[in-house]
Amino acid sequence: MPTAAHLVASVALALLAFVVSGQIMPLMPESTDFGYFTHVNVGLALVAGWKVMGRRAGRGFVPGINNGLTGMAVLVIWALIIQGAVEMFRLAKRNIYDGPFEALAAIFTIALEYFFVMAVPTVLVTLVVGGTLVGLVTEFASKRWK
């Protein structure tokens, strides 16, 4: 059932995804074609905010913070896997892989490489602080608009 907490969680997490996507772009090589990078991350954030965070809102202050950090972690994992899959398909069109299982394994290898690219203090601090704020705003919306 749609609630204000679902909407606020989705929009707030999407805003966090937009900001973090902008922070990650300069960390990648100059030749990187980002295409729909930001759009995909914002879309994933909308879904994660609605499905993961919206359902868990309204349980209190500390659970609200935990909810925000959980939503942020789910978003990062989903984004790494999706972006890894996109890169794998791009490489697969060049016949880089010998078989389908090698290509599937490459998704996680690429996702791990992307994680190491984004694992810099500015991005990690933004994710943790932003996730906490998203959780608190979602909790406030849940209490305010029942």
What domain range is 123 assigned to? 4-23+35-144
Q: What is the pLDDT of residue 104?
A: 94
**Number of domains observed in the structure of the chain:** 1
Cα atoms in the Cβ-side hemisphere of radius 13 Å centred on 129: 8
Decide if 28 is inside a domain: no
Provide the residue type at 139 as one letter. Answer: E
Is the separation of the CB atoms in 131 and 68 below 8 Å?
Answer: yes
Decide if 8 is inside a domain: yes
Decide if 137 is inside a domain: yes
Decide if 70 is inside a domain: yes
Decide if 29 is inside a domain: no
Is the separation of the CB atoms in 88 and 107 below 8 Å?
Answer: yes
Q: What is the pLDDT of residue 58?
A: 83
Decide if 129 is inside a domain: yes
Q: pLDDT per position in the chain (146 positions), as tens?
A: 788 999 999 999 999 999 999 999 999 989 888 899 999 999 999 999 999 998 888 888 899 999 999 999 999 999 999 999 999 999 999 989 999 999 999 999 999 999 999 999 999 999 999 999 999 999 999 888 87
Decide if 119 is inside a domain: yes
Decide if 130 is inside a domain: yes
Is the separation of the CB atoms in 19 and 130 below 8 Å?
Answer: yes
Q: What is the rounded CA–CA span in Å between residue 87 and residue 105?
A: 12
Q: What is the pLDDT of residue 146?
A: 74
